[in-house]
Amino acid sequence: MATDVQVPALGESISEVQIARWLKAPGEYVKQDEPVVEIDSDKATLEVPAPVAGLLAEVLVNEGENASVGDVIARIDETAPVPAPVEGPRPPAAVEESPPRADEKAVVKKEQRVMPAAKRALAERGLDPNAVKPTGRGGRVLKEDVLQHSEKAPAPEPAASPVGGIVTGAQRREKLRPITPMRRRIAERLVQAQQTAALLTTFNEIDMSAVIALRKEHQESFVAKHGVKLGFMSFFVKAVVTALREFPGVNAQFRDDQLVEFNYYDIGIAISSGKGLVVPVLRNAELMRFADIERAIADFGGRARDNKIALEELQGGTFTITNGGVFGSLLSTPIVNPPQTAVLGMHAIQERPVAIGGEVVIRPMMYVALTYDHRMVDGREAVTFLVRVKECVENPARLLLDL
């Protein structure tokens, strides 16, 4: 008897998904509720568990192909017997061994667990799986790992032509890569924001000296008590909540030709995952302590890398913070995440000469940018909002004393 593996319902707005990768190959035995396949929706990557235990008898939709909600993508033979555990060879009797020679001291790597798509990619390129760094769950080698390893591999030396020239044509290549539903959705939303909103960006810069000094003074005790590092993002979340309370129009949305203002602060934190930008939401950030914020962001970051962010965690934000500084960006103009009103962009901290009290001093400075929808937020309101964020971060005691 075979049981169907179907694409589950993922929400009202999601009708189609893409098969990202099969975690089990045909012929492998799977346990009930064990993940068998990863699927990409336009919002997140999710694992589909096995509905029953049995042998994965048939895969009906290949990696990179699309399927609709409810489609049968595989079948599991639940009548197949549970495979007996494989007993390893018995250890040989203890014998005295001579010391290994120098050429015998090389360490043999443990055999990697290679996913089916990765096996094909390895075979096509003639690569040893042990040479590829795995990033998949449980140390699995993924197709993406093989492709990334191939791109990092040194290019072969160009061959000389018969007349002494260089043959370069062999180095030219093109690679086709399908667009994932998430990337397609990101593109649609960014274009939507540009076409439907009156976007404008205002800039400022923040002296990070006080925050850096505070983190240095209390980092050790903070980690000892809360088990997580005190980062910069928690200061900005707190500063943003303070500023949003004073400027509720920035914490608003257009809905059915009406302006909706919120008395709660659900702050989206933009995080780069392996397949695109995701924005999980800190619910009721106004009620969170510094440690709560740092733990939540660390959790989001780890689960984003493993494609474990749940759909409901990506929905309903009232304001967004994005930090291009972690990638080295010095200045940029972030794009509003519809239907929100505004987004704050953080950037790299850079020591720069600044004039303070009539003297030129070197301070760690960060450029910040606020992109806002001018239909709902006036320039004065946006500029004053960003100045309030600057004041809070430059004087972090304000955040503790609610000044």
- Residues assigned a catalytic role: 374, 378
Stretch (H or E) spanning 144: helix 143-152
Residues 6+ apart with CB under 8 A from 45: 20, 38, 39, 182, 273, 275, 307
d(CA 44, CA 32): 23
- Report the phi/psi class of residue 315: left, alpha or beta, with left for phi > 0 and alpha for psi in -120 to 50: beta
Residues 6+ apart with CB under 8 A from 292: none
Q: Is the peptide bond before 339 cis (omega within 30 degrees of 0)?
A: yes
- Helix/strand/coil for 140: strand
CB 24 within 8 A of CB 115: no
Tell me the CA distances in angstroms from 81 to 23, 29, 52, 77, one per residue in order.
Answer: 20, 9, 13, 9
- The alpha carbon torsion through 259, 263, 264, 268 (nearest 10 deg) reads 30
Residue corresponding to tokens 């993922």: 10
d(CA 353, CA 113): 52
Tell me the CA distances in angstroms from 5 to 39, 69, 131, 328, one per residue in order.
Answer: 12, 11, 34, 43
How many secondary structure helices (H) and strands (E) does the chain include?
Answer: 8, 21
Report DSSP letters for 238-307, one per residue: HHHHHHHHH-GGGSEEEETTEEEE-SS--EEE-EEETTEEE--EETTGGG--HHHHHHHHHHHHHHHHTT
CB 252 within 8 A of CB 265: no
